[in-house]
């Protein structure tokens, strides 16, 4: 069993450079510029790619089209290095096999990021499910979950598990993700004042629809920070290409993605 002492010691013991980070993606960086918010984000190996399942409500389409292989990770895969993917697998295994060690390290990193935000006079937020869907309400360190440890910090995530939308801590904002198979659950969430994220197969130089099935659609790619979104709306996201070109085309044209000519759209 690993014992946590300092971040430097944790790096030596694991060979990892960090668990999470700020400015970790182009979209996260948009939150810094638009909302003056420094966001700490954690990326793990999605679904069961590490040998442990961190996405219990995933579907075949979202597993195949996961954004874990887009952006910087896509370039890493294309280079043949796979440094990012291998590190995420290692972090995921550490979370399940050495959870106290992992959580102590996570807390220290969040504390450090929070101090940087304060020093730079920025707001601060945390997103722990960058590429996972863990119910962090049930992960404890010294009898407290992360929302209780940092009760003055805003957390947010996307989830495909409707059960996670129940009994959400006051400082945790969750957006339910549309899978192409869960419209009834999404409709219930919308009518209860929650938001639903949907991916659209629309060119990025064209505007997203104004409505889908009668619900207002906002552009969720302007910023990653979902906390300030109005309630009961659809968070529209443009399709992002993934590394596997064949899978990219399959998923882009599947039920997971709303097509431009969908009869339920209003422009």
- Give percent above pLDDT 70 in the chain: 94
Helices vs. strands in the chain: H and E counts, helices first: 9, 13
What are the tokens at 253?
């044209």
Residues 265 and 212: beta-carbon distance below 8 Å: yes
Q: What is the pLDDT of residue 24?
A: 83
Give CA–CA dist 179/251, Å, rounded: 11
Q: What is the pLDDT of residue 62?
A: 85
Give CA–CA dist 174/163, Å, rounded: 11
Q: What is the pLDDT of residue 88?
A: 96
Residues 45 and 84: beta-carbon distance below 8 Å: no
Model pLDDT for residues 64-90, shown as the tens digit of each residue? 878 655 445 444 444 454 788 999 999
β-pairing verdict for 265-266 and 211-212: antiparallel
The CB density around residue 192, as the number of other CB atoms within 10 Å, is 10
Give CA–CA dist 234/199, Å, rounded: 10
Q: What is the pLDDT of residue 227?
A: 96
Give CA–CA dist 225/68, Å, rounded: 19
């Amino acid at each position: 069993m690993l014992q946590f002492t300092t971040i430097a010691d944790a790096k030596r013991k694991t060979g990892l450079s960090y668990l999470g980070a700020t400015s970790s993606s182009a979209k996260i960086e948009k939150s810094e510029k638009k909302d003056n918010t420094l966001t700490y984000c954690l990326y793990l190996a999605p679904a069961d790619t590490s040998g442990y399942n961190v996405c219990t409500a995933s579907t075949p389409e979202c597993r195949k089209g996961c954004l874990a292989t887009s952006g910087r990770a896509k370039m890493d895969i294309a280079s043949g290095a796979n440094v990012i993917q291998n590190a995420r697998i290692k972090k995921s295994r550490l979370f399940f096999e050495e959870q106290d060690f992992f959580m102590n390290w996570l807390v220290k990193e969040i504390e450090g990021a929070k101090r940087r935000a304060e020093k730079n006079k920025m707001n601060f937020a945390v997103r722990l499910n960058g590429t996972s869907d863990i119910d962090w309400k049930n992960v404890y360190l010294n009898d407290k979950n992360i929302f209780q440890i940092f009760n003055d910090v805003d957390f947010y995530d996307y989830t495909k598990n409707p059960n996670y939308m129940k009994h959400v801590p006051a400082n945790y904002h969750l957006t339910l993700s549309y899978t192409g198979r869960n419209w009834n659950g999404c409709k219930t969430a919308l009518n209860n004042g929650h938001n639903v994220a949907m991916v659209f197969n629309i060119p990025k130089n064209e505007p997203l629809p104004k409505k889908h099935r009668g619900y207002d659609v906002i552009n969720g790619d302007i910023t990653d920070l979902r906390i300030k979104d109005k309630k009961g709306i659809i968070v529209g996201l443009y399709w992002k290409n993934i590394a596997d070109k064949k899978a990219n085309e399959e998923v882009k044209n599947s039920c997971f993605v709303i097509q431009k000519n969908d009869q339920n759209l209003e422009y």
